[in-house]
Amino acid sequence: MTTIKAHFIEAQQILEKFVAVDANFEKIANASNLILKAINNGNKIISCGNGGSMCDAMHFAEELSGRYKRHRNALPAISISDASHITCVGNDYGFDYIFSRYIEALGKSGDVLLAISTSGNSQNIINAIHAAKQKNMFIVGLTGKTGGKMASLCDIEIRAPHSEFSDRVQEIHIKVIHSMIDYVEKNLQIS
């Protein structure tokens, strides 16, 4: 029982560290406004991540294209999670290019890339960011630890407080994702 409770106490402490920094909420609002602007201008949102972060990227996209809390039109969002694309590119070009090739194919100026990496150093995410920059896309990054290489590459970086393992980072990321989706739904200018 003690070990289980400690898990929750540690999660609470990390969340309290995040909540104590008002700039985190300004970044979430700014990222959400970038997403709203892209949608209102006829652009799309592309999200990517590895492992649990891919699950978060998929969740983000499906809540926009499906619905979160409010009935509204579907929004243009997609995660880079197609197994055939990933295995094709991974086989032909290498794992480091599974996301960037997708951006090269479908990214357009004014689109937004939501790039998720708990370390901020995943090479395939870094390559996706570079591809998005080549397309004049906006980059919102969700990171952890020190922010890694992503910190200086993103237009907006939202960083979870430092923790030893990625589970605490991912718990902050899913809260950020839900707050961004809620903000978008509440401030959407299209029905």
pLDDT digit string (tens) for the chain, length 191 residues = 889 999 999 999 999 999 999 999 999 999 999 999 999 999 999 999 999 999 999 999 999 999 999 889 999 999 999 999 999 999 999 999 999 999 999 999 999 999 999 999 999 999 999 999 999 999 999 999 999 999 999 999 999 998 888 999 999 999 999 999 999 999 987 54
Q: Range of 166's domain?
A: 2-187
CATH of the domain at 82: 3.40.50.10490
Number of Cβ atoms within 10 Å of the Cβ of 106: 13
What does the pLDDT read at residue 122?
98
Predicted local confidence at residue 191, as pLDDT: 44
Q: Looking at residue 190, what is its pLDDT?
A: 55
Report the SS3 class of residue 106. Answer: helix
Report pLDDT for 18: 97
Q: What is the pTM of this model?
A: 0.96
Q: Of all helices (H) and strands (E), which one includes residue 116? A: strand 112-116
Long-range own/partner contacts, residues 4-9 (CB < 8 A, 24 or more apart): none
User: 3-class SS at 143?
Assistant: strand
Instruction: Quote the pLDDT of residue 136.
Output: 98
pLDDT in tens, 128-156: 999 999 999 999 999 999 999 999 999 99
Domains in the chain, number:
1
The string of DSSP codes covering 29-95 is: HHHHHHHHHHHHTT--EEEE-STHHHHHHHHHHHHHHS-SSS------EEES--HHHHHHHHHHT-G
Residue 181: C-alpha distances to residues 13, 31, 35, 84 (Å): 24, 10, 9, 28
For the segment 98-115, what is each residue's pLDDT rounded down to a tens digit?
Answer: 999 999 999 999 999 999
